[in-house]
């Protein structure tokens, strides 16, 4: 069968675009999964799950387990689990700067400054409507998803330089930030998460980040564990499930 010149290249381009957008959607879904599970968030995740394709670059089984636990979870139980695991003076911190060791000499200020540098370089800033710290897991996942979408857009328009810059930024972000603290965070989650939906979500996150590192040939040097807790690392958040004081 004869094909027109360029047909193979177009097919490859289409496949690359689909792959990048699929990975971006997965990163955004993970960010939603770790956000506080109010009614709006629950519906947004259900909508995303209905659109996700079955094949997702080697994490199909983990995705199926998490999807099943999410769809079967009791909303009130999920809210209670989210508060128990992540909120207040958290058992499992979702902030990068809660983790580190002697290699991170600069401390929290330097890490936050570097993260903000990544965000500003691509015209982004933390939302004032949802003011998570720049080092929050959901913020970092959303940013990485944005990089994948931006790379796909550059690829689709034939902007090779912009595509290369964005792809390189993704590698650096994995190596310097997102890929370094996932493991100690997941260690804490596995210790305290029991068989909750968040344990399944953590396993999926682990697989997705590992796959991205493999794809981009990135080998992050993971942090050894949590740093000593201080006021700068505590989430400024009161759990909606917490009992309210009685009034006369």
Percent of the chain with pLDDT over 90: 51
Given this model, what pLDDT does residue 206 score?
A: 95
Q: CA-CA distance, 220 to 171, in Å (whole number)?
A: 10
Given this model, what pLDDT does residue 55 score?
A: 55
pLDDT in tens, 85-129: 998 666 899 999 888 764 455 567 788 888 988 999 988 876 665
**112 contacts: CB under 8 Å, gap ≥ 6:** 97, 133, 134, 135
Mean local confidence (pLDDT), 211-223 = 91
Given this model, what pLDDT does residue 199 score?
A: 92
Given this model, what pLDDT does residue 32 score?
A: 94
Q: What are the beta bridge partners of residue 95?
A: 136
Question: Cα–Cα–Cα angle for 36, 38, 42, nearest 5°?
Answer: 95
Q: CA-CA distance, 64 to 207, in Å (whole number)?
A: 13
Given this model, what pLDDT does residue 79 score?
A: 92
Given this model, what pLDDT does residue 125 score?
A: 72
Please say if the pLDDT value at position 241 is more than 80.
Answer: no
Given this model, what pLDDT does residue 100 score?
A: 79
Indicate the domain borders of the chain: 20-233
Please say if the pLDDT value at position 132 is more than 50.
Answer: yes
Given this model, what pLDDT does residue 226 score?
A: 78
Please report which confidence band the pLDDT of residue 214 belongs to, taking 50, 70 and 90 as the band edges. Answer: very high
Please say if the pLDDT value at position 137 is more than 70.
Answer: yes
Determine contact, residues 118/169, Cβ cutoff 8 Å: yes
Please say if the pLDDT value at position 171 is more than 50.
Answer: yes
5-9, 165-169, 222-226, 241-245: which is most confident: 165-169
Given this model, what pLDDT does residue 49 score?
A: 85
Please say if the pLDDT value at position 131 is more than 90.
Answer: no
Supply the pTM of this predicted model.
Answer: 0.84
Mean local confidence (pLDDT), 171-199 = 90
**245 contacts: CB under 8 Å, gap ≥ 6:** none
Rounded alpha-carbon distances, angstroms, from residue 220 to 72, 135, 175, 176, 209: 35, 17, 5, 7, 11
pLDDT in tens, 22-53: 999 999 999 999 999 998 998 889 888 877 76
> Residues 19-35, buried b or exposed e (16+ Cβ, 10 A)?
ebbbbbbbbbbbbbbbb
Fold of 20-233: TorD-like (1.10.3480)
Please say if the pLDDT value at position 243 is more than 60.
Answer: no
């Amino acid at each position: 069968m004869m094909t027109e010149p360029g047909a193979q290249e177009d097919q490859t381009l289409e496949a690359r675009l689909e792959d990048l957008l699929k990975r971006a959607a997965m990163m955004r879904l993970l960010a939603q999964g770790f956000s506080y599970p109010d009614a709006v968030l629950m519906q947004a995740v259900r909508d995303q799950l209905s659109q996700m394709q079955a094949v997702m670059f080697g994490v199909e089984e983990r995705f199926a387990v998490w999807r099943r636990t999410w769809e079967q979870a009791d909303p009130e139980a999920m809210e209670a689990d989210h508060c128990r695991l992540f909120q207040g003076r958290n058992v499992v911190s979702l902030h990068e700067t809660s983790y580190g060791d002697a290699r991170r000499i600069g401390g929290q200020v330097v890490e936050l400054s570097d993260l903000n540098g990544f965000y500003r370089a691509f015209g982004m800033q933390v939302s004032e409507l949802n003011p998570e710290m720049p080092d929050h897991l959901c913020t970092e996942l959303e940013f990485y998803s944005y990089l994948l979408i931006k790379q796909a857009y550059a690829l689709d328009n034939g902007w090779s330089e912009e595509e290369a810059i964005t792809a390189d930024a993704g590698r650096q972000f994995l190596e310097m930030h997102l890929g370094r603290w996932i493991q100690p965070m997941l260690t804490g989650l596995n210790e305290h998460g029991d068989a909750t939906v968040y344990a399944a979500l953590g396993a999926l996150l682990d697989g997705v980040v590992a796959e991205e590192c493999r794809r981009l040939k990135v080998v992050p040097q993971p942090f050894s564990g949590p740093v000593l807790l201080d006021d700068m690392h505590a989430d400024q958040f009161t759990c909606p499930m917490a009992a309210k004081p009685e009034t006369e």
